[in-house]
Amino acid sequence: MTSPLRVLVIGGVATGPKAACRLKRLVPEAEVTLIDKDDIISYGACGLPYFVEGLFSDVNTLIQTPVGVERTPMFFEKAKGFQVLTRTEALAIDRESKTVHVKNLDSGEERDMGYDKLVLAMGGHPFRPPIPGIDLKNTWYMTHPRHADSLVKEIEAQGLKKAVLVGAGFIGIEMAEALKERGLDVTVVEMFDQILPGILDKDMATFAAKHLRKKGVKLVLGERVTALRGETQVEGVNTDQQTIEADLALIAVGTRPSDQLAREAGINCAEKGGILINEYCQTNDPDVYAGGDCVVNHYYGGYAGREMFVALGSTANKHGRVIANHIAGQPTPFAGIGMTGIVKAFDFTMARTGLTELQAKTLNLNYETIIWAGPDMPHYYPGHGPLVIKMIASKRDRKLLGVQLAGMGNAAKRLDVAASVILLGGGLDDIANIDFGYAPPYSPPLDPLATCAHVLTNKLDGLADGVSPFESKALIEAGNVVLLDVRTPQEFEEMRLPYDVVHIPLGALRSKANELPKDKDILAFCKVSMRGYEAQRILNAAGFDRVRFIEGGIVGWPFEVKMMKSE
């Protein structure tokens, strides 16, 4: 009789519990033990900003199942059938003897635990910038229920009022909403000259930043935080250009993979951090698996690139399943990540999947982009909101390379479709052919993603001569461009681009085309530039060569517009 398979899991959030639970369902006789140095495990860290915002009042909700049972060691033992040891730190892995040297953080007792298969799921830790004042009181991170719980308590106890958030990534933006909604004054400082650096292209980030500012969030972009000021507690934040008053600092400048234990045991890691794994989440030691925030991933979109570190709860859960399946002898390869990300800021969504334009450029791909704007539902249906979509496709085969979305409309739906199309290698024609669910409460007759694919196809076919907003602004400010506004008189009276324009409503353009110069560059636009594109085609037909349109029109314009009437 063989002894049962011994599986040791290090790490009790997302990947670890997922792997252990699944494994016990697949191989009930396996002896599975999960250890974690913390006293609480299996919490939903992604929910922390929403607890701070006050959308639920008990932080323990994040460690409960949907029916309110707390995921304690007892829960896992009783309901899932494996042992959980909290306050138990793994100090070293001996791969030769297949043991992990662990320490009980309460008793101080140390011992060796044997394994047949080892699962590394230590997660990540927030990067702690090496700047003066980083240890001052009232400095927070936001990756653990303790952080959120103490933040809420101290805001109330101390009456904190002015928050400076360092870093405009996902957590920075979610926390900007959370603290603003709690009534604090919120400033976000970001070293790069855009929000969501590495996630959105600068043009989409600039468009999204406009909305954050409209909601009262102060954005300080392109400034590096050099110190937190204060005697014992935070009184301000110094950047390389200014001092910002603050009584609360939140550091959200990224997560780092907790790979030290693996590194010390000779497990291969990426140079910049993160355990290297194959498609079954195996490390270079086939008996050692790793997943979640302590590993690096590959992009599934078909373009070679370096492994990358992207910490996401969704990926961590997938890894857990892949690991359990492989240990159980039912291997299911992990395809990789789609570089998908989404974040809500108030009533606004920012999202991305696949390659950004910056990445496509860096990879030296032959690509084309479009920026499209329009409503997410028919205009007559209440609650419709605008969406701005940036779509990137290969010129060679018209496959979809990436999509970015921003706006108050339903971006999440189009994001997931784009992620699916990229995974399955689909192109612009495929997007146009998807039979999207159509009814007025959900979508216009042609889904925005399909319409956007149409416009990009038109651009690749040489029919639509669109100019991105950033390029348009540069052309306008360099002079010598005739700006042609083809909106209705009523629209023209409501808001305008803050430049000299020629205003000819589209319906009058055929008869008034002769009023426009053929020897100058014309840049047409309307609310979303559907009519801007039509104006280009009408003028082309009337013999104009030098006519293009501003992609996304006024709705997609990332800079200031001139409101003509007070709202």
> Which residues within the stretch 340-359 sit at the binding site for a copy of itself (CB under 8 A)?
340-344, 349, 351, 353
3-state secondary structure string across 418-446: HHHHHHCCCEHHHHHHCCCCCCCCCCCCC
220 versus 422: smaller Cβ distance to a copy of itself? 422
The residue from 92, 358, 363, 424 that contacts a copy of itself (CB under 8 A) is 424
The residues near 173 (Cβ < 8 Å, ≥ 6 apart) are 188, 195, 196, 212, 343, 345, 350
Tell me how far, at minimum, the Cβ of 271 lies from a copy of itself, in Å: 24
Q: Using CB under 8 A as the criterion, what x/- string covers residues 116-155 for binding a copy of itself?
A: ----------------------------------------
Instruction: Rule CB under 8 A: say whether 563 interacts with a copy of itself.
Output: no
Instruction: Rule CB under 8 A: say whether 305 interacts with a copy of itself.
Output: no
> Which residues within the stretch 74-93 sit at the binding site for a copy of itself (CB under 8 A)?
75, 78-81
**What are the CA-CA distances from residue 384 to residues 380, 440, 443, 559 (Å)?**
8, 10, 9, 23
Q: Using CB under 8 A as the criterion, what x/- string covers residues 207-246 for binding a copy of itself?
A: ----------------------------------------
What is the Cα–Cα distance from 430 to 400, expressed in whole angstroms? 9
Instruction: Rule CB under 8 A: say whether 331 interacts with a copy of itself.
Output: no
> DSSP per residue over 468-529, as a string?
-HHHHHHHHHTS-EEEEE-S-HHHHHHEE-SS--EE--HHHHHHHGGGS-SSSEEEEE-SSS
- Contact in structure between 376 and 386 (CB atoms under 8 Å): yes
The residue from 508, 512, 517, 563 that contacts a copy of itself (CB under 8 A) is 508
> Which residues within the stretch 473-502 sit at the binding site for a copy of itself (CB under 8 A)?
487-488, 490-491
133 versus 374: smaller Cβ distance to a copy of itself? 374
Handedness of CA 245, 246, 249, 253 (dihedral sign): negative
> Which residues within the stretch 357-386 sit at the binding site for a copy of itself (CB under 8 A)?
375, 378-382
What is the Cα–Cα distance from 367 to 520, expressed in whole angstroms? 28
> Which residues within the stretch 174-213 sit at the binding site for a copy of itself (CB under 8 A)?
174
Residues listed for the chain: 567
Tell me how far, at minimum, the Cβ of 171 lies from a copy of itself, in Å: 11
Q: Where are the alpha helices (DSSP H) in 142-222?
A: 145-158, 170-181, 202-214
Size of the site for a copy of itself (CB under 8 A): 109
> Which residues within the stretch 381-400 sit at the binding site for a copy of itself (CB under 8 A)?
381-382
> Which residues within the stretch 259-298 sit at the binding site for a copy of itself (CB under 8 A)?
none
Question: 304 exposed, middle or buried (CB, 10 Å; 0-12, 13-18, 19+)?
Answer: exposed
The residue from 33, 317, 472, 529 that contacts a copy of itself (CB under 8 A) is 317
Q: And the tokens for 65?
A: 């199942």
> Which residues within the stretch 436-455 sit at the binding site for a copy of itself (CB under 8 A)?
436-443, 445-447, 454
